[in-house]
Amino acid sequence: MGFLTVIIPNYNGKKYLGDCLRSLEKQTFVAFDVIIVDNGSTDGSVEYIKEKWPNVELIELGENTGFANAVNVGIKAADAEYVFLLNNDTMCDEYVLERLIKVMDNKKKLFSAQAKMLQMKEPHNIDDCGDLYCALGWAFTPGKDADNSHFSRRESITSACAGAAIYRKEYFDKVGYFDPEHFCYLEDVDIGYRARLKGYANVMEPTAIVYHVGSGSSGSRYNAFKVELTAANNLFLIYKNMAAFQLFINFIPICIGIAIKHAFYVRKGLGKAHIKGLLGGFKKIAKFANHRVIFGKKEIINAFRLQIELWVNIGRRIMNV
């Protein structure tokens, strides 16, 4: 077994791949392999990888199966202790892998450790410093657009952003893999929440820096495709991962959260996409009801612990800290 495999899901990301892969060549931690899983790109990505990066393992899926399925394929193909999931529109600081490995080695209960992601065009600003989930049914990164001087200490988080995060591969057998029915968006929050229910932890490591273009595949921060899928996946996530007592006590806050989100999207001209996404979420729940977490004693105890965080995180979201 190897020690580490970097997995890059790719969909029409040819213009980003060169910079991403060159940044990996500069890593101080050198004992790793790279797998690119291509989701049916039509921009010449496959030909480019074969010609310019022959030492990279390329898995061609032939069609766009979504982020979640692509990374699952890569994880299962990796013969390694750790897997580092990396978006194609990123560049890694040279110490990223070394520092994330050190964090994981020192704490065996960690399911994942995320790098601190900075905005490529404005690197003094944070792009993502770990995801939190709150009782309003919102996933958010508290440091979004904040100055990089903030969030300078290691933080416990609900889940890691899978755009630049390392995972302990053996724990996927206990937590489960990324749910392909999410396709993309919130699939990393879903699996991170499931890991927490199993008693594992997730952290953000601020000394591991990754620069991120953002929305390299979807094209923008807010668009109909993203709003629709996020709304659907969020309802699906809530149904799957919350114990019965949580569904009951969080029902009103979640409804309030949905109403606030809808008002926001209406102002963006995306109200119809949000409604369509919510309806799609109920369809997913009906169709994939068996994806719900099975709650035993351990999961119930950890659900109570998580519920406290969900309440606390409402305050963090409001204060944006």
Query: What is d(CA 76, CA 37) in angstroms, rounded to the nearest whole number?
Result: 12
Containing structural domain, residue 265: 224-319
Residue entry with tokens 């910079």:
19
* Phi, psi torsion values for 192, nearest 5 degrees: -65, -40
| 103 located within any domain | yes
pLDDT at residue 319, rounded to an integer: 81
pTM value is 0.95
The domain boundary residue, chosen from 182, 212, 242: 212
Tokens of 260: 């606030």
SS3 content of the chain, % helix, strand, coil (to 5): 45, 20, 35
pLDDT at residue 321, rounded to an integer: 53
Task: Please state the separation of Cα 113 from the chain's center in Å.
Answer: 11
Same domain, 7 and 45: yes
Q: Going residue by residue through the chain (321 aa), what tens digit of pLDDT does each one get?
A: 569 999 999 999 999 999 999 999 999 987 899 999 999 999 999 999 999 999 999 999 999 999 999 999 999 999 999 999 999 999 999 999 999 999 999 999 999 999 999 999 999 999 999 999 999 999 999 999 999 999 999 999 999 999 999 999 999 999 999 999 999 999 999 999 999 999 999 999 999 999 999 864 555 678 999 999 999 999 999 999 999 999 999 999 999 999 999 999 999 999 999 999 999 999 999 999 999 999 999 999 999 999 999 999 999 998 875
Same domain, 208 and 261: no
Same domain, 252 and 196: no
CB 32 within 8 A of CB 3: yes
**b/e for 285-299, b at 16 or more Cβ within 10 A?**
beeeeebebebeeeb
Same domain, 150 and 24: yes
| 217 located within any domain | no
State the amino acid at position 9 in one-letter form. P
| 218 located within any domain | no
Among the listed residues 206, 191, 117, the one whose alpha carbon sits nearest the alpha carbon of residue 154? 206
CB 33 within 8 A of CB 83: no
The domain boundary residue, chosen from 151, 186, 212: 212
Rg (CA), the chain: 19
Tokens of 163: 């755009």
CB 59 within 8 A of CB 35: yes
* DSSP codes of every residue in 146-175: -BTTSS-S-EE-SB--TTEEEEEGGGHHHH
**b/e for 142-178, b at 16 or more Cβ within 10 A?**
bbeebebeebeebbebbbbbbbbbbbbbebbeebebb
| 31 located within any domain | yes
Same domain, 188 and 138: yes
Cβ neighbours, 10 Å, residue 113: 28
Number of domains, the chain: 2
* Phi, psi torsion values for 33, nearest 5 degrees: -110, 165
